[in-house]
Amino acid sequence: MNLRTVGLRVSGVIFGLVSLGLIARLWARSEIVIGSYHLGRIPSSILIIVTGGLSIWLVKLAGPWCTETKAAPTPRI
């Protein structure tokens, strides 16, 4: 396992935890207030989809099927 694979897995886990935190926030019905703006459920739902999708994508990129391979030599004619 190389450094790139570890980085992809760690970032995938971080995005997954952020997604789970957003789900817990929606379930608890707590509000996010930025200045005087209240962040509602629809932007939070979009963020859950985006962070969850990034998490799944990064973990799939770090899987054993996406390892670096050497290029095949070109045939000489």
Residue 70 has a pLDDT of 55
Q: Please name the residues in contact with 25: beta carbons below 8 A apart, sequence gap of 6 or more.
A: 32, 44
Q: Measure the CA–CA gap between 29 and 2, rounded to whole angstroms.
A: 41
Residue 62 has a pLDDT of 81
- CA 68 to chain CA centroid, Å, is 21
Residue 72 has a pLDDT of 60
Residue 52 has a pLDDT of 92
Asked if 31 and 49 count as a contact pair (C-beta separation under 8 A), the reply is no
Residue 73 has a pLDDT of 66
Predicted confidence (pLDDT) per residue in 13-71, tens digit: 999 999 999 899 888 888 778 888 887 788 888 999 999 999 988 888 887 766 555 55
Dihedral sign, Cα of residue 38, residue 41, residue 28, residue 16: negative
